[in-house]
Amino acid sequence: MSNPHSPLIDRYGHDAEHLVDVAGYSQLSSMIGRGSCRSFQQTEVAPELIQLLCATALASPTKSDLQQRDIVVLNDPVLKTEIVQLLSGQSWIAEAPCLLVFCGNNRRQRRVHQLRNRPFVNDHLDAFFNAAVDAGVALSAFVIAAEVVGLGCCPISAIRNAPDKVSDLLGLPAHVFPVAGIAVGYPTSTRPTVSPRLPLRATVHTDRYNEDNIDEQIEAYDARRDRQLPYKQQRRADLFGTSTRYGWSEDKARQYAQKERQNFGQFIRAKGFDLT
Ligand SMILES: Cc1cc2nc3c(=O)[nH]c(=O)nc-3n(C[C@H](O)[C@H](O)[C@H](O)COP(=O)(O)O)c2cc1C
C-alpha cells in the first residue's frame, strides 16, 4: 500500500529510498508524489488564475527562444462540448471545469521570415519537432504550476484522435497543430494517487545508455506496481482474453497492439510540414 510519507518509494520502489536524505527532498516531495486528476469539484476556476497558469507555463524554456507553442483556453461551452465529443471514451473530461489545448506553432516563425525578408531554409522534420517539444515543455510546466496552487489536471492526448476536426473547431491555421489537451479543476480527492514508475536504474543512465537486465527490471516493476496499484480491468479482454498476470507491460503491449492515430502524419503534412 502507498506510504504517505514516502512518495519517492511509492513512485520508484525501495531502490530510491536513499534519495529521501538528499538536501532538497522536502521541497520536491510533493512534485514526486503528484498524480493526474480525472475527478473534479464543480467549483469554478477563476479565469485570471488560468491566465496566470498560462503565463507560468509559457515562462518555461523554449528552443532558441523561438516560442513555438500556444495555448487555446476553451471558454465557449458549446465548443467545449463539441471538442469533448471527439475524445472517445473519456466522459470524465466533460466534468472538468476547464479545458485547454496546447499547440505547437511553427507559423509565427515563418511569418517572421516574411517580415524580415529572409528565407526559411529549415523546412524539415526539425521544424515540426521543435514546436512539438516546445508545446510539451509548456504543458509540463502548466501541470506543475496548477498542482502547486491546489488544482488537479490531466493531459489529454486523445485531442489528437481526430486532429483535423479539432483543428477546424479551434481554427488552427497551417503550421499550428494540437499536441495535447489538458483538463483542469479542483480535485475531488485530497490526495493524488501516485502511479509507480519504472526504476530509476532503467531510465536514468550514467555516461552511456545501459539496458542490462531490462527484461528482469520490467518484470519486477510489473510485480511492484501490481502490489501497489493493480489495474482495475484488463484492456480489451474481448480481443486479448484475460491474463492471469496482468501488469504494466501487458497493458502497454495490448495498448500498442492496436492501431492508433494512423492519420496523424497525414494531418501534420496537410498542415504544411515537410517531415523529411
Ligand atoms: C502528453 C500526455 C497525454 C496524455 N493523455 C491522456 C489521455 O488522453 N487520457 C488520460 O486519461 N490520461 C492522459 N495522460 C495522463 C497519463 O495517463 C498519466 O500521466 C500516466 O498514466 C501517469 O500517471 P500520473 O500522471 O498520475 O503519474 C496523458 C499524459 C501526457 C503527458
- Map the chain to HEC letters: CCCCCCHHHHHHCHHHHHHHHCCCHHHHHHHHCCCCCCCECCCCCCHHHHHHHHHHHCCCCCHHHCCCEEEEEECCHHHHHHHHHCCCCCHHHHHCCEEEEEEEECHHHHHHHHHCCCCCCCCCHHHHHHHHHHHHHHHHHHHHHHHHCCCEEEEEHHHHCCHHHHHHHHCCCCCEEEEEEEEEECECCCCCCCCCCCCHHHHCCCCCCCCCCHHHHHHHHHHHHHHHCCCCCCCCHHHHCCCCCCCHHHHHHHHCCCCCCCCHHHHHHHCCCCCC
Cell 514526486, located at residue = 32
Which pLDDT value is given to residue 1? 44
What's the average model confidence in pLDDT over 135-161?
98
Q: Is residue 57 lining ligand 1, measured as CB closer than 6 Å?
A: no
Distance 195 CA to ligand 1 centre (A): 10
- Average pLDDT, rounded, for the chain: 96
Pocket test for ligand 1, best of 40, 153, 157, 195 (most atoms within 8 A of CB): 157
Q: How confident is the model at residue 206 (pLDDT cuts 50, 70, 90)?
A: very high
273, pLDDT greater than 80 = yes
Q: How many domains does the chain have?
A: 1
Q: What is the pLDDT, as a whole number, of residue 88?
A: 78
Long-range contacts of 82-85 (CB under 8 A, 24+ apart): 82/169, 83/159, 83/166, 83/169, 83/170, 83/181
Q: Region 218-243: what's the mean pLDDT?
A: 97
Q: Which atom of ligand 1 is nearest to the CA of 136?
A: 1
Identify whether 242 is part of a domain: no
Asked if the structure places residue 124 within a domain, the reply is: yes
Q: Which of 77, 80, 79, 130 is nearest to 104 (CA)?
A: 130
In a domain, 3, yes or no: no
Would you say the CB of residue 202 lies under 6 angstroms from ligand 1? no
Residue 205 lies in a domain: no
The residues, any chain, with a CB within 8 Å of residue 213's CB and separated by 6 or more, are none
Q: Residue 28 falls within a domain, yes or no?
A: no
Which pLDDT score is estimated for 5?
59
Tell me, yes or no, whether 119 lies in a domain. yes
Mark residue 36 as left, alpha or beta (left: phi above 0; alpha: psi -120 to 50; beta: remaining).
beta
124's grid cell: 524539415
- Residue 114 covered by a domain: yes
Summarize the confidence of residues 45-72 as an average pLDDT.
98
Q: Is the pLDDT of residue 191 over 50?
A: yes
Residue 115 makes CB contacts below 8 A (sequence gap 6+) with none
pLDDT at residue 6 greater than cutoff 60 = yes
Q: Is the CB of 217 under 6 A from ligand 1?
A: no
Closest residue by Cα to atom 19, ligand 1, is 36
Q: 264 lies in a domain?
A: no
Q: Domain containing 182 — which CATH number?
A: 3.40.109.10
* Best residue among 154, 177, 194 to mutate for probing ligand 1, ranked by most atoms within 8 Å of CB: 154
- Whole-number Å distance, alpha carbon 156 to ligand 1 midpoint, is 7
Domain that holds residue 135: 47-191
Cα separation, 165 vs 254, whole angstroms = 27
- Atom number of ligand 1 nearest to Cα 195: 27
